[in-house]
Amino acid sequence: MDKKNLIMKKALELFAEQGSEATSIQRITEYCGISKGAFYLHFKSKDELIVAIVEHFTKEILFDIDQVVKKQTSSERLLFDFYITTLQSLEKNVSFTKVFAKEQTHSINQELITILHRFERVMKEIIIKVLDRVYGEQVEKSKYDLAYCVNGFISIYSKLFLFYRIPLDFEKLAHSLVEKTEVLALHVTTPYLTFDIDQFISSQSEVDVTIGKLVAIIKDKLEIVEDSTERESLLLLHNYLTDKQTFPKAIIKGLCENIRLHPDCKDLYYFFRIYFDF
């Protein structure tokens, strides 16, 4: 494990145990067995370290969920798979999830707030796609309200292993949440949150994704992605954004899919999803 990842891993353990505010850089370096100089080679401050941790693990969790949702072709299994994957991914990254929950309520770091908003937005998009595939027109008027309920179920029940350390039967819990969701999906006649309210909420936490930002990120990725289909796709996307080539949206989507599975391109893939709205 390289030093950057070692620092993130060990710092996360300390943050989960005693909180990020109570954990000094001195304590982190002692726990890692490195000097302060080695720490500052990778992170300018503790805030920058926290941002890096949150960005890394939110990508991992979203990637786990997105992969399962994309691969599951059965609408009957989709909602169950979504719930069990989400809960298991949060439990697998339990140290991070504890820190994530605390930073959501205490953060004043603008970069971190942007990352948290991005996570919430992508998570909501995934949930709505799941609801559309499972229930179709049955939830056309209530899906935005229902998406908040689904997100609430995850938040509430994850506390059982986050804070109460109750061992969970994830299969049983996922079946229970599917049952609850179906009751709401099929029987609620007075949803509160509508498309207009959802759009207003989204506008308050909009992630600013510009062509300049995408081009800059692609240039960074090209320095670490070796010759491959992913690299060729990055070059084509770069040329598209800089007006050197033109492609129909279907081709753009295909190029984005080519980079989706690359471990260093997960963030870029999600930025493209936001920018091109697919």
Picking from 7-16, 203-212, 250-259, which range would have the lowest pLDDT averaged per residue? 203-212
**Domains identified in the chain and CATH numbers:** 3-43 (1.10.10.60), 49-204 (1.10.357.10), 211-276 (no CATH)
- pLDDT band, very low/low/confident/very high, at 126 (cuts 50, 70, 90): very high
11-39 mean pLDDT = 90
Residue 243: predicted pLDDT: 83
Residue 213: predicted pLDDT: 81
Residue type, 151: N
Distance separating alpha carbons of residues 17 and 14, to the nearest angstrom: 5
Using one digit for the tens of pLDDT, what is the confidence trace for 135-150? 999 999 999 999 999 9
pLDDT exceeds 80 at position 110: no
97-121 mean pLDDT = 71
Q: What are phi and psi of 155, to 5 degrees?
A: -65, -45
- pLDDT band, very low/low/confident/very high, at 154 (cuts 50, 70, 90): very high
Using one digit for the tens of pLDDT, what is the confidence trace for 227-238? 789 999 999 999
Picking from 104-118, 120-134, 222-236, which range would have the lowest pLDDT averaged per residue? 104-118
Using one digit for the tens of pLDDT, what is the confidence trace for 49-82? 988 988 888 888 999 999 999 998 898 899 999 9
Residue 200: predicted pLDDT: 63
Distance separating alpha carbons of residues 226 and 191, to the nearest angstrom: 50
Question: Quick one: CA dihedral 148, 153, 158, 164, positive or negative?
Answer: positive
Residue 137: predicted pLDDT: 94
Residue keyed to tokens 């205490």: 106
Helix (H, G, I), strand (E, B) or coil at 249: helix
Distance separating alpha carbons of residues 269 and 16, to the nearest angstrom: 29
Whole-model pTM? 0.70
- pLDDT band, very low/low/confident/very high, at 181 (cuts 50, 70, 90): very high
The full length of the chain comes to 278
Residue type, 224: I
